[in-house]
């Protein structure tokens, strides 16, 4: 009985909260997992009260890997830093192994129906060898009928990365769209006209823009130019100051406004002492860079919530950050973002004046 009483007791909060599409001063309390206006007793004060952060592209972290099926401990760690929506992302691997991980995920979802993980995504397997980055070449596939059918039959994979310049990907994309999947342009050396062809087919997603893409040139604007030019493309950016400098992020804001998403692209060695990944020895330079011996970036090592703090330190406003770290992703994938308002689900993040996470609440319970 004591635990039930503690779960139902109310807590009060005050600060600048995200309500009705903007930040405003708000005082509220939480009771039975819902938000009610007004205080009940002493309030917990925060500089900003955000809806939960979202990370639509993450491979692991804290020494844990989705590739190994470690969904439970990763979900716990993500919740602790304010991320209550995340898409487990598999790096390119044998289709047999991807099928096995998919089955593990399916089982996990049945046991945890309120999981923060909606579906899986994979970087590959139909990507460019020239722009493979840290992806292993041996697992890249030619988009023939057999490979396409086998890959698309993996139900839990909702999003996948493909290179538009590869011969045969038209059939891949057409069949994927009919199945309700989301083909994402990336790890590609395609020209702008290649992108435009698939844009006309309905493609609107780009993988970790602008990394591992054909560059912008005044005679051929490539994928980077295409991402800037086409207004309604969903762009995801690793906003860590390493994969893209702050000047590029500022350029993107000037062109697109706060209508793109920040992602972690975090790999298992992030927030750990682990030095091996993908069969290679990795080097850590400071807090935000992980690379192999050749200097190729292996992936991200900062969470979305930490990136939000870095963007704030560099001058972005809370209104811009809430769109980049919360709103854009949820809107694109068709999920409702909780508002900090009367009657809403009490899932939110308390941030201090430096945009650092203080506390996280999920359905009214402190994480």
User: How far is residue 20 CA from its own chain's centroid?
Assistant: 24
* Cross-sheet strand order for the sheet of 289-291: 283-285, 289-291, 297-299
Backbone angles phi, psi at 164, to 5 degrees: -60, -20
Backbone angles phi, psi at 334, to 5 degrees: 80, 25
User: How far is residue 89 CA from its own chain's centroid?
Assistant: 9
Phi-psi region of 140 (alpha: psi -120 to 50; beta: other; left: phi over 0): beta
User: How far is residue 268 CA from its own chain's centroid?
Assistant: 15
Query: Residues 365, 6: contact at Cβ < 8 Å?
Result: no
Backbone angles phi, psi at 161, to 5 degrees: -95, 135
Comparing C-alpha atoms, which of 82, 81, 90, 79 is closest to residue 57?
A: 90
Could you tell me the sign of the dihedral formed by the alpha carbons of 5, 110, 120, 59, in that order?
positive
Cα atoms found within 13 Å of the Cα of residue 106, Cβ hemisphere only:
11
Q: Which two tokens stand for residue 63?
A: 């020494």
Under DSSP, the state recorded for 258 is S
* CA–CA distance, 105 with 352 (Å, rounded to integer): 35
For the chain, helix, strand, coil in percent to 5 are: 30, 30, 40
Beta bridge partners of 263: 238
Residue where the block lists tokens 């990763």: 74
Backbone angles phi, psi at 335, to 5 degrees: -110, 145
CA distances from 49 to 14, 36, 82, 135, 312 (A): 8, 15, 11, 38, 15
Q: What is the pLDDT of residue 300?
A: 76
Q: What is the pLDDT of residue 331?
A: 95
Residue segments in the chain with a per-residue pLDDT below the cut of 70:
1-9, 133-135, 274-298
Q: What is the pLDDT of residue 93?
A: 86
> 103 Cβ partners below 8 Å, 6+ apart?
none
Exposed / middle / buried, residue 315 (Cβ in 10 Å: 0-12, 13-18, 19+): exposed
Query: Residues 364, 13: contact at Cβ < 8 Å?
Result: no
> 38 Cβ partners below 8 Å, 6+ apart?
27, 28, 29
* CA–CA distance, 171 with 163 (Å, rounded to integer): 13
- Which domains, and CATH codes, for the chain? 2-49+342-366 (2.30.40.10), 52-332 (3.20.20.140)
Q: Which two tokens stand for residue 282?
A: 């990795």
* CA–CA distance, 79 with 244 (Å, rounded to integer): 26
């Amino acid at each position: 009985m004591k635990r039930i009483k503690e779960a139902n007791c109310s807590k009060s909060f005050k600060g600048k909260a995200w309500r009705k599409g903007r930040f405003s001063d708000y005082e509220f309390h939480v009771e039975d997992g819902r938000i009610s206006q007004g205080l009940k007793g002493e309030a917990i004060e925060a500089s900003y009260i955000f809806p939960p952060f979202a990370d639509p592209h993450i491979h692991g972290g804290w020494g844990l890997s989705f590739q190994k099926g470690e969904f439970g401990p990763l979900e716990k760690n993500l919740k602790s830093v304010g991320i209550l929506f995340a898409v487990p992302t598999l790096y390119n691997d044998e289709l047999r192994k991807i099928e096995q991980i998919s089955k593990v995920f399916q089982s996990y979802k049945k046991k945890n129906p309120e999981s923060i993980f909606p579906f899986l995504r994979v970087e590959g397997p139909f990507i460019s060898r020239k722009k493979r980055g840290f992806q292993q070449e041996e697992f890249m596939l030619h988009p023939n009928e057999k490979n396409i059918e086998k890959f698309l039959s993996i139900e839990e994979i909702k999003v996948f990365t493909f290179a538009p310049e590869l011969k045969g990907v038209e059939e891949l994309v057409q069949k994927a769209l009919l199945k309700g999947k989301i083909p994402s342009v990336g790890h590609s050396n395609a020209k702008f006209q290649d992108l435009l062809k698939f844009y006309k087919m309905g493609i609107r997603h780009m993988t970790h823009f602008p990394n591992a893409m054909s560059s912008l040139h005044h005679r051929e604007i490539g994928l980077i130019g295409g991402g800037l030019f086409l207004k309604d493309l969903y762009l995801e950016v690793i906003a860590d100051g390493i994969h893209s400098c702050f000047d590029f992020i500022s350029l993107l804001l000037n062109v697109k406004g706060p209508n793109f998403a920040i992602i972690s692209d975090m790999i298992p060695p992030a927030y750990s002492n682990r030095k091996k990944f993908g069969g290679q020895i990795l080097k850590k330079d400071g807090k935000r860079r992980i690379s192999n011996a050749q200097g190729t970036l292996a992936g991200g090592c900062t969470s979305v919530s930490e990136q939000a703090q870095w963007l704030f330190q560099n001058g972005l406003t809370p209104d811009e950050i809430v769109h980049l770290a919360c709103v854009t992703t949820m809107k694109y994938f068709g999920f409702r973002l909780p508002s900090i308002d009367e009657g809403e689900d009490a899932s939110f993040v308390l941030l201090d004046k430096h945009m650092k996470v203080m506390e996280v609440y999920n359905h009214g319970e402190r994480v």
